[in-house]
């Protein structure tokens, strides 16, 4: 059994449990990063803690609630994963991509991922929300896809969805520039020298997540879009020390804008 088959087998009990619990069929999934559940002001139709799902791990980082919710977003019924798993927490790639595998087992074909990121350029400031055009995997970890080298390296292989989103955002007058995201292993913030390196290799924002979930989505045939909330200037672009508290505060301020772009994405799903 190949690695993907192993993951499907591992998370099948969790998928069967959720299928029996969820009150509506699913159209999409949303995997949110630090503090991003602040974008929701209303109550979900259904919710449960990660710990209630058989075998499912739980986040350990502040701002990752570890709550699953069913919400109507745009035109879609969306399973919202309130928090992710990071390699720097001690999780393996298998756990990091568990929400994506679980979404696939539930028949979900469309995924939106958000993250909190630092800006390595003065072009984008804290509070901006960016649509990712590409990503650099600098975590030096990848999916163990032996025998699957034909899997596309393009992390966003569904241009129709992106085009529809861009058109909707233009109609709404919402500014959402595109950027390239660099994923580092963490858990420490980057040094000024590392930031200069990232600038030279084409990154515009940097974080500690997202690429593995996107790789897994591609391997499973799930269409994906990813958004970064810029939460701070990277080291060397500001004088004060970086902190997770600053990240959380900025995500809270950017939450309404993030919700507008996420809602737009789920309003223009190609098959709804």
Q: Which of 232, 234, 254, 255 is labelled catalytic?
A: 232
Strand, helix or coil at 74? Answer: coil
Residue written as token pair 């087998």? 9
- Our answer to whether residue 88 is catalytic in this structure is yes
- Our answer to whether residue 86 is catalytic in this structure is yes
Q: Which of 36, 50, 64, 254 is labelled catalytic?
A: 64
Q: Which of 208, 224, 226, 255 is labelled catalytic?
A: 208
Give the span between the Cα atoms of 167 and 105, in whole angstroms: 31
Decide: 141 and 183 in contact? Cβ < 8 Å. no
- Our answer to whether residue 244 is catalytic in this structure is yes
Q: Which of 89, 95, 246, 249 is labelled catalytic?
A: 89
- Our answer to whether residue 189 is catalytic in this structure is no
Q: Which of 95, 145, 244, 246 is labelled catalytic?
A: 244
Give the span between the Cα atoms of 244 and 232, in whole angstroms: 10
- Our answer to whether residue 64 is catalytic in this structure is yes
Give the span between the Cα atoms of 182 and 207, in whole angstroms: 6
Q: Which of 98, 103, 116, 135 is labelled catalytic?
A: 116
- Our answer to whether residue 39 is catalytic in this structure is no
Q: Which of 86, 179, 183, 224 is labelled catalytic?
A: 86
Q: Which of 39, 209, 213, 254 is labelled catalytic?
A: 209
Give catalytic residues, as residue numbers.
34, 64, 86, 88-89, 116, 208-209, 232, 244
């Amino acid at each position: 059994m190949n690695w993907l088959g192993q993951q499907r087998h591992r998370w099948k009990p969790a998928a069967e449990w959720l299928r029996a619990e969820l009150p509506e069929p699913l159209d999409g999934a949303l995997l949110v990063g630090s503090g991003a559940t602040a974008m929701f002001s209303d109550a979900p139709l259904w919710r449960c803690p990660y710990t209630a799902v058989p075998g499912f791990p739980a986040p350990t980082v502040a701002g990752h609630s570890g709550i699953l919710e069913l919400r109507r977003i745009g035109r879609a019924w969306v399973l919202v994963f309130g928090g992710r798993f990071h390699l720097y927490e001690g999780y393996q790639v298998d756990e990091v991509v568990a929400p994506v595998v679980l979404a696939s087992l539930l028949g979900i074909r469309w995924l939106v991922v958000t993250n909190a990121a630092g800006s390595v350029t003065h072009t984008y400031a804290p509070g901006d929300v960016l649509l990712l055009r590409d990503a650099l995997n600098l975590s030096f970890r990848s999916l163990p896809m032996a025998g699957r080298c034909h899997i596309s390296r393009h992390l966003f292989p569904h241009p129709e969805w992106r085009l529809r989103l861009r058109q909707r955002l233009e109609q709404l007058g919402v500014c959402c520039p595109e950027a390239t995201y660099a994923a580092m292993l963490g858990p420490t913030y980057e040094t000024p020298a590392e930031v200069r390196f990232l600038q030279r290799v084409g990154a515009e924002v940097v974080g500690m997540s997202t690429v593995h979930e996107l790789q897994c989505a591609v391997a499973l045939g799930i269409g994906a879009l990813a958004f970064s909330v810029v939460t701070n200037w990277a080291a060397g672009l500001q004088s004060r020390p970086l902190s997770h508290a600053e990240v959380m505060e900025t995500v809270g301020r950017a939450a309404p804008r993030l919700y507008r772009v996420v809602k737009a994405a789920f309003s223009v799903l190609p098959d709804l």
